[in-house]
Amino acid sequence: MTCTCRNAKKKTIFVEINKITMGRAFEYRRAAKEKRWDKMSKLFPKLGKAITMAAKEGGEDPATNAKLRTAIQNAKAENMPKDNIEAAVKRATQKDISSFTEVIYEGKGPHGVLVMVECATDNPTRTVANVKSYFNKAGGSVVPNGSLEFMFNRKSVFEIIKTDAIDPEELELELIDAGCEEIEVVEDKVFVYGDYTSFGTIAKALEDMNIEVQKSNLQRIPTSPIELTDEQMNDVEKMLDKIEDDDDIQQVFTNIA
C-alpha cells in the first residue's frame, strides 16, 4: 500500500516537472516566434519601400532594372512573401504614391561610436527631427553631413551560399577584372567585396557565372573600428534599436568592431 502511494507520488511529481519543462519550452518557442514576427513587421516595410523606390526609378521589369532586381533578391532572402513583393512593385505606378527621397544623416553616439544613417523618406523634416531626438536622448548628436564620410569605406558586398562547386580562390581570380577586392569565407557563406562603383560589374560577372547571390548591397565599413565593453554596448544598442525601429530608416552603419 505504501509502495503504491510512493509510486503515485513519484508519477505526480514527474508529470508536474514535465509540465514545467514543456511550459518553458513552449514559452521559449513563443518568445522566439514573437521576436521573429516583430523583426518581420519592421523589416518587410523597409524592404517594400526599397522595391517601390527602385521600380519607380527604373521601371517595373527586374530584367531591365538592376536596382529592382537587387531589391527583390534581398527581400526574398529575408523570406518576404511573393504577394508583398508584387504589391511593392505595383505601388510604384500608383498616382498617389509619395515621392521618397534618399537622405543620409551622420551622428556621434555614446562612447565614441560614429553612426551613418541611410533613410528613405517622404518627409525629411519629420525624419531629421526623429533622428536628432534618438541621438540627443542617448547623449549624442547629429553632425554636419560629410563630417564622418572619411571614417567609412563604401563597399559593394555580395553574400553567396558556399557550395562544393565554389572555390573562393578561383572565384576571386575570376572576379578581379570585375572589381573584386577581397573574398571572405564565414562558415557556410562567401562574401565578395569591391568598391561601391563596382557593384554593377561584379553583379553582372556573378550572373554570367550562374552563381546565385543571396543578398547584395552597398555597405559602409569603418576604417578604424573601436572595441566596446558589454556595458558600453548596452548603451549603444538602446540608441541603435530606436533608430532602426523608425520606418524611414533603411540601413545603419557604425564604427563598432
Tell me: the pLDDT tens digits for 10-26?
444 444 444 443 344 43
Residues 179 and 227 in one domain: yes
Which three-class secondary structure state does DSSP give residue 95? coil
User: For residues 219 and 237, is the Cβ–Cβ distance under 8 A?
Assistant: no
Return all residues near 189 (Cβ < 8 A) that are at least 6 apart: 159, 160, 161, 162, 214
- The pLDDT of residue 229 is above 60: yes
pLDDT category of residue 98 using cuts at 50, 70 and 90: low
DSSP conformational letter for 100: -
Instruction: Tell me how far apart the alpha carbons of residues 219 and 146 are, in angstroms, rounded to a whole number.
Output: 16
Q: What is the pLDDT of residues 82-95, one digit of tens each?
A: 999 999 999 888 76
Q: How far, in whole angstroms, is CA 178 from its chain's centroid?
A: 25
| Mean confidence (pLDDT) of the chain | 85
Residues 130 and 232 in one domain: yes
- Map residue 140 onto helix, strand or coil: coil
Distance CA 168, CA 152 (A): 26
Q: What is the pLDDT of residues 131-151, one digit of tens each?
A: 999 999 999 999 999 999 999
CB burial of 108-136 (b: ≥16 within 10 Å; e: otherwise) equals bbbbebbbbbbbbbeeeeebbebbeebbe
142 DSSP 8-state letter: E
Supply the CATH number for residue 126's domain: 3.30.70.980
Q: Which of 97, 114, 133 is the last residue of a domain?
A: 97
For 164, the grid coordinates are 562544393
Structural domain that includes position 157: 98-257
Q: Are 119 and 79 in contact (CB under 8 A)?
A: no
Phi, psi of 64 (to 5 degrees): -110, 0
Task: Give 212 or 93, the one with higher predicted confidence.
Answer: 212
pLDDT of residue 148: 96
pLDDT at position 28: 39
Contact (CB, 8 A) for 165 and 211: no
**Confidence bin at 230 (pLDDT 50/70/90):** very high
**Which domain-ending residue is among 80, 97, 114?**
97
pLDDT, tens only, 43-56: 888 999 999 989 98
* Domain termination residue (choose one: 53, 75, 97): 97
pLDDT tens digit sequence for 22-34: 344 434 344 443 4
| pLDDT (tens digit per residue) in 156-203 | 999 999 999 999 999 999 999 999 999 999 999 999 999 999 999 999
How far is C-alpha 174 from the geometric centre of its chain's CA atoms? 28
Q: How many domains does the chain have?
A: 2
